[in-house]
Chains A and B, each alone.
Chain A
Amino acid sequence: MKKFILKSVLYILLILLLLEVIVRVFHLYTEDPPRFIDEYGVEKRVPNHDGYAVTGNRNQNYSKFHINKAGFNSFREFTPSADKYEMALVGDSFIEGFHQNFSNSIGKQIENQTEGVEVYEYGYAGYDFANQMHLVHAYEKDFQLIDQIVLYLNYENDLSRAVYEPNTGRIKMLSSTIFKIRDNIKLLAYGSKIGIVEPLKKLAQRGVAFNETEKGYQTNELKDSEEEKLKQDQKRIANFKSLINLYGFDKTKTSLLLDSRKTSERFLDFCRDNGIKYIDFSSSFEESKKPTTLIYDHHWNAHGRTIIAKELANYIKKQKN
């Protein structure tokens, strides 16, 4: 019996070891460059990191990233000056663009379609509107030199805060021992990415590996009444007002990039009434015959990103003229 247990343990260890080798050789795991909060309270990546971001179980999307000296994934360094025409694209993981080679990013595509424009992509996974407004305010000197600022707004997720507070908890958590172990054991990183370790985690935390399915259908129920929607809109618009009052909003050169299908009409009315410009890419996405998002997540795929780049390039051409 003792021999059997020992043999089984050895066998399992060897299998795990071989799986680790396979995951590393085929680069099935994704890399997430380290993050930090700088002296201005801006959360970003540690500069000068290169690697590959992977989506899907079987490397369905595999792209190279490069963190520049400013701490953002970009093909260029950010050197704004008064004698050049620059555009800043600020946003979350959609703008960070780990789903496309950095050498063919939205910014690069905009530069290819316009003349004499430098595009600075200030994208960071997890940024909401408060992060973005704080960033523009914190790097005021740079942004004063930048000619056009585009802020990507996901209306449903990005307006839950009225004031920016740096997320020190997340940075601490990501640099904790558990996360370091996860990042160093690539099999674990891969398992975590595809969700196969989720039942084990639940089992360890709550003693239940899988969710109760009996009441599962209720999670899909649409509960928002008109009254609740109004309340939500009012709160989001109030947060938006608070953020622009706190950090400033130069209407002459700042625009929002949004999808009107996912944005409340009340908020769009508010923007129109207050002279806040927005670029709506919903119709371009709707007209597209090919899918615009990835399969394994809802980020824009290469085609979706090309559409966004085209929208922004056309917008910038109009602004320049």
Chain B
Amino acid sequence: MASEYYRNFSGTFDVSLVTFSRIFFRSPSLSYSFDFIRQIGNKFYYEPYMHPMGYRMFDFYLLVALFTVYEYLIRRDERNPFKFSSPIVRFLLYTLVIMSILLFYDDGVNRSFIYFQF
């Protein structure tokens, strides 16, 4: 049980550290990144994040939440992502994966005119 807690803590710490280090990688200069870090602690304001293309953000938050839960579920054996023995569950999962591909498929082509004309 203790090792389980340690693993979770260690995972969270690793992710936090990597995320934090990205401040330096993404900043245009070192002084900018220190400014950014200073503001994390003392500048609180809320501004909704908008997708650069204007897509509905809720869909992506939902996706991140689902992936986080899934990642947790398969944490012991990530090389076997569909380790459900029930054929029905496997079938539903495969369908869900294909459906997700369809739901988030985007080839960047504006198709509405093509579809409505033909």
A295 contacts partner chain B, Cβ-Cβ < 8 Å:
yes
Q: Which residues on the A side are within 8 Å of B117 (C-beta)?
A: 125-126, 170
CB distance from A120 to the nearest CB of B (A): 21
- A residues in contact (CB < 8 Å) with B: 11, 14-15, 18-19, 22, 30, 32, 55, 57-58, 60, 93, 98, 125-126, 170, 173-174, 190-196, 198, 291, 294-299
**Stretch in B16-24, B38-46, B72-80, B106-114 with 4+ CB within 8 Å of A:** B106-114
Q: Which residues on the B side are within 8 Å of A192 (C-beta)?
A: 115
Chain B, residues 90-117, CB within 8 Å of chain A (1/0): the string is: 0110110011001111110111110111
Query: How many angstroms from the CA of A170 to the CA of B116 in the assembled complex?
Result: 11
Query: How many angstroms from the CA of A291 to the CA of B54 in the assembled complex?
Result: 9
B65 contacts partner chain A, Cβ-Cβ < 8 Å:
no
B59 contacts partner chain A, Cβ-Cβ < 8 Å:
yes
Asked if A125 contacts B59 (CB within 8 A), the reply is: no
Q: Which residues on the B side are within 8 Å of A174 (C-beta)?
A: 118
A55's closest neighbor in chain B, by CB?
A: B112
Asked if A198 contacts B107 (CB within 8 A), the reply is: yes
Task: Contacts A125-B117, A173-B118, A295-B55 given; indicate if A15 touches B111 (C-beta within 8 A).
Answer: no
Q: Which residues on the B side are within 8 Å of A14 (C-beta)?
A: 91
CB distance from B6 to the nearest CB of A (A): 39
Q: List 7 A-B contacts (CB under 8 A).
A: A15-B95, A22-B95, A57-B105, A170-B118, A194-B105, A297-B113, A298-B110
Contact of B91 among A15, A173, A191, A291 (CB under 8 A): A15
Contact of A193 among B95, B104, B106, B111 (CB under 8 A): B111
B26 contacts partner chain A, Cβ-Cβ < 8 Å:
no
B2 contacts partner chain A, Cβ-Cβ < 8 Å:
no
Task: Contacts A19-B95, A291-B54 given; indicate if A32 touches B105 (C-beta within 8 A).
Answer: no
Contact of A30 among B105, B115, B118 (CB under 8 A): B115
- B residues in contact (CB < 8 Å) with A: 53-56, 59, 91-92, 94-95, 98-99, 102-107, 109-113, 115-118
Asked if A126 contacts B116 (CB within 8 A), the reply is: yes
Contact of B116 among A98, A196, A298 (CB under 8 A): A98
Task: Contacts A58-B103, A191-B102 given; indicate if A295 touches B53 (C-beta within 8 A).
Answer: yes
10 further A-B pairs in the complex, CB-CB below 8 A; given A14-B91, A15-B91: A15-B95, A19-B99, A22-B99, A126-B116, A170-B117, A193-B111, A295-B55, A296-B111, A297-B110, A297-B112
Q: Which residues on the B side are within 8 Å of A295 (C-beta)?
A: 53-55
Query: How many angstroms from the CA of A193 to the CA of B116 in the assembled complex?
Result: 9
Asked if A297 contacts B111 (CB within 8 A), the reply is: yes
Query: How many angstroms from the CA of A24 to the CA of B59 in the assembled complex?
Result: 20
B54's closest neighbor in chain A, by CB?
A: A295
Contact of A15 among B94, B103, B113, B118 (CB under 8 A): B94
Asked if B116 contacts A125 (CB within 8 A), the reply is: yes
Q: Which residues on the A side are within 8 Å of B111 (C-beta)?
A: 193-195, 296-297
Closest 4 CB pairs of A and B: A297-B112, A125-B116, A295-B54, A126-B117
B113's closest neighbor in chain A, by CB?
A: A297
Task: Contacts A15-B98, A19-B95, A19-B98 given; indicate if A57 touches B103 (C-beta within 8 A).
Answer: yes
Query: How many angstroms from the CA of A191 to the CA of B94 in the assembled complex?
Result: 18
Task: Contacts A15-B98, A297-B110 given; indicate if A193 touches B118 (C-beta within 8 A).
Answer: no
Asked if B113 contacts A58 (CB within 8 A), the reply is: no
Interface centre among B109, B112, B115 (most CB of A within 10 A): B112
Query: How many angstroms from the CA of A174 to the CA of B116 in the assembled complex?
Result: 11
Contact of B107 among A19, A126, A195 (CB under 8 A): A195
Contact of B56 among A11, A60, A125, A194 (CB under 8 A): A60
